[in-house]
Amino acid sequence: MAKLVDSKETIAVLQKTNFQFKKQFGQNFLIDSSVLEHILSFSEINKNDLVIEIGPGIGTLTEALCERAGFVVAIEIDDKLIPILEETLSSKDNFKLIHGDALKVNYLSLLAEHKEFSSIKVVANLPYYITTPILMDLLEKRLPLKSITVMVQKEVALRMKAAPGTKDYGALTLAVQYYSNPVIVQEVPPHCFIPRPNVSSAVIHLSLHEKTPVSVQNPALLFKTIKFSFMQRRKTLVNALSSGFHIEKKDLQAMLGSLSYPENVRGETLSLADFALIADGIEELQKKS
């Protein structure tokens, strides 16, 4: 089993290569081996897995993934880290490094190169400034992923896991839970990173649904309904949806009433199943207009 790099080794590698952290890439390297072990344990990586890692840094987690997985593809945007990764992972014959932006990678083409793997997992310490775009990109593409296990800002993890009626509940919650079942694995304090971030972090595990938990006529309309409902949280659902869809309030009130929702209902109190029903109701209203 690969030895996980500790803080002294990480610092030594950074000093040897004269690496300079770049704020625009949100670089905070994990140096707590116990947290890394927790990530590896919960992601349940084995030799049947193709693993995609986004933002491998200097390869601390990558080495351990290579020991456990059938094949590992790491995507790194910082050109200064490429030679470090190439040297660190030079002995691994089940590893590929892609130098590029994770939001611009052609994942379908990438997966086609590794058809022998039926189980595909994402494991990463994601840059916090781009966490949500990366996660939603992976989920919305409906890639054949089994799970996503990532380090994110604690606040974002809480939003993904939130329940209706709580302060963290919102559009991100519903989008993530439409595609997956999120479980917060571990909270991670700032001292576990170099440099230390100004926020606490958390490891979250998303088990991708084989079948979405709700049935809806038009998924795109569902997400528009959710988006408009949370653009101004304190607005009633009727006011929020009327502004967003340009539908008469009286028509929305009648539709919601037919579904047994009160006129003053707000989006923050509704479940994913509720939004699916309401989106289908809006679909029918639009067909009539």
Residue 28 known to bind ligand: yes
Can you give the CATH number for the domain in which 184 is found? 3.40.50.150
Flag whether pLDDT at 191 surpasses 60.
yes
Residue 194, pLDDT score: 73
d(CA 149, CA 278): 32
- Quick: pLDDT tens for 108-167: 999 999 999 989 999 998 888 889 999 999 999 999 999 999 999 999 999 999 999 999
Can you give the CATH number for the domain in which 270 is found? 1.10.8.100
- Residues 225 and 132 reside in one and the same domain: no
Last-in-domain residue among 159, 187, 208: 208
Does some domain include residue 1?
A: no
- Quick: pLDDT tens for 163-176: 999 999 999 999 99
Does some domain include residue 2?
A: no
Residue 187 known to bind ligand: no
How many domains is the chain built from?
Answer: 2
Residue 3, pLDDT score: 43
- Quick: pLDDT tens for 220-279: 999 999 999 999 888 999 999 999 999 999 999 999 999 999 989 999 999 999 999 999
Residue 76 known to bind ligand: yes
Q: Compute the average pLDDT of residues 189-201.
A: 84
Residue 8, pLDDT score: 56
Residue 230, pLDDT score: 95
- Residues 83 and 196 reside in one and the same domain: yes
Question: Which pLDDT band, with edges at 50, 70 and 90, does 2 fall under?
Answer: very low
Residue 125 known to bind ligand: yes
**What is the rounded average pLDDT for all residues in the chain?**
90
Question: Which pLDDT band, with edges at 50, 70 and 90, does 4 fall under?
Answer: very low
Does some domain include residue 91?
A: yes
Flag whether pLDDT at 78 surpasses 90.
no
Domain that holds residue 261: 219-288
Residue 30 known to bind ligand: yes
- Residues 117 and 246 reside in one and the same domain: no
- Residues 135 and 36 reside in one and the same domain: yes
d(CA 162, CA 205): 14
Does some domain include residue 203?
A: yes
- Residues 192 and 259 reside in one and the same domain: no
Does some domain include residue 78?
A: yes
69 burial (CB, 10 Å; 0-12 / 13-18 / 19+) is buried
Q: Which two three-digit tokens encode residue 186?
A: 């571990």
